[in-house]
Amino acid sequence: MKSGPFRFDPASAAGFGEMLIRRRIDAARGRVVRGARDRGASVVEWVVISALLVGIAAAVGTILLQKLKTKADSINLDTGTP
């Protein structure tokens, strides 16, 4: 970790993510002056980010469901009574 305005090195994946998040926060707080053309790009960014998050959630859900089904199928339900 680094001291200064960023917690992570901006050259790393975590640092790049932090830089993007800080930029979005600054824009939301009105610190960044943007033109009308940049607003459309912002919408596209949010759509892409949302699509990525939905994809990740779907993948995690599918993996968990598969593991739960496998585990449930492995349970022996035979009680041994005639």
Sorted by sequence, the CB contacts under 8 Å of residue 26 that are 6+ apart come out as: 32
Q: What is the pLDDT of residues 29-74, one digit of tens each?
A: 776 566 655 666 677 888 899 999 999 999 999 999 999 999 999 9
What is the per-residue pLDDT for 34?
60
Which tops the pLDDT comparison, 66 or 75? 66
29 DSSP assignment: T
Q: What is the pLDDT of residues 7-25, one digit of tens each?
A: 777 678 888 888 888 888 8
Q: Whose CA is closest to 2, among 23, 27, 19, 20?
A: 19
What is the per-residue pLDDT for 13?
83
Is residue 18 within 8 A of residue 6, CB to CB? The reply is yes
What is the per-residue pLDDT for 16?
84
- Across 1-82, the runs of DSSP E, i.e. the strands, are none
74 DSSP assignment: T
